[in-house]
Amino acid sequence: MRVRNRPGAAEMLAAHPNFVISDPTLWKGKWNELFENDHPIHIEIGMGKGQFITGMAKAHPEINYIGVEMQVSVVSIALDKLIEQPLPNLKLLHVDGSALTEYFADSEVDQIYLNFSDPWPKKRHEKRRLTYKTFLAVDEQILRPNGEIHFKTDNQGLFEYSLASFSQYGMILKQVWLDLHQSQFEGNIMTEYEEKFSSKGQRIYRVEAQFQDKTKKKSLRN
């Protein structure tokens, strides 16, 4: 998500360390201590303006949520929502989503959300797609055994690519929606993009993909 530079955004983040964690490396392997409970941890990579992650945190107080976004102006807009309605089970990170192993220990995360990621349609930019194999390897490392990625997009090309990428990586496609808003799926929390695109009649695609147990994969190789 690209937005105009917001004056004072960096200062705003620094002024709210209770919501935006200034140095997440300090909490690697200890996020449950920060949340002060042992609830599951779900993260959204590329949270945008935060509508999805705040909606999920409100709907599921039994789960700890962490929103990851690298654009400071966008993080500040998500922070607006937390300032207006503080949520004890939600923290925000202003970091690069490709460096997640610096902030999370192996198997520390229970679930990952990817919503309306940049499709990077040109072939030469394939490695930048968040469903490319190198990103999946990072996701697998921080996720618990049999951890899942829940992915939504309006881009058919990216969706088709991602299904193939998940499959080639050895993941299990648990369920696929080719037209989410015309399905029986319950409890869908929409992103800003999702509201915009669906209002124009565009299809929303969704998939739940599960990594195979890392310990079992190792034993099979041996």
Residue 84 labeled ligand binder:
no
Structure tokens at 38: 């042992």
Residue 56 contacts residue 112 (beta carbons within 8 Å): no
Say if residue 122 carries a ligand binding annotation: yes
Q: Sign (positive/negative) of CA torsion 3, 98, 164, 206? A: negative
Q: What are phi and psi of 156, to 5 degrees?
A: -60, -40
DSSP SS3 for 152? strand
Q: Is 213 annotated as a binding residue?
A: no
126 has binding-site annotation:
no
Q: Is 25 annotated as a binding residue?
A: no
Judge whether 215 is annotated as a binding position.
Answer: no
Does 36 count as an annotated binding residue?
A: no
| 118 carries an active-site annotation | yes
C-alpha 83/C-alpha 184 separation (Å) is 34
Question: Reading across the β-sheet that carries 172-177, which strands appear in turn?
Answer: 90-94, 64-69, 41-45, 109-115, 143-153, 205-210, 172-177
User: What letter would DSSP give residue 93?
Assistant: E
Q: Is 194 annotated as a binding residue?
A: yes
Q: Pick the catalytic residue: 23, 38, 106, 118?
A: 118
Question: Residues comprising the binding site for S-adenosyl-L-methionine?
Answer: 44, 69, 96, 118
Which active-site residues does the annotation give? 118
Question: Residues comprising the binding site?
Answer: 44, 69, 96, 118, 122, 154, 191-194
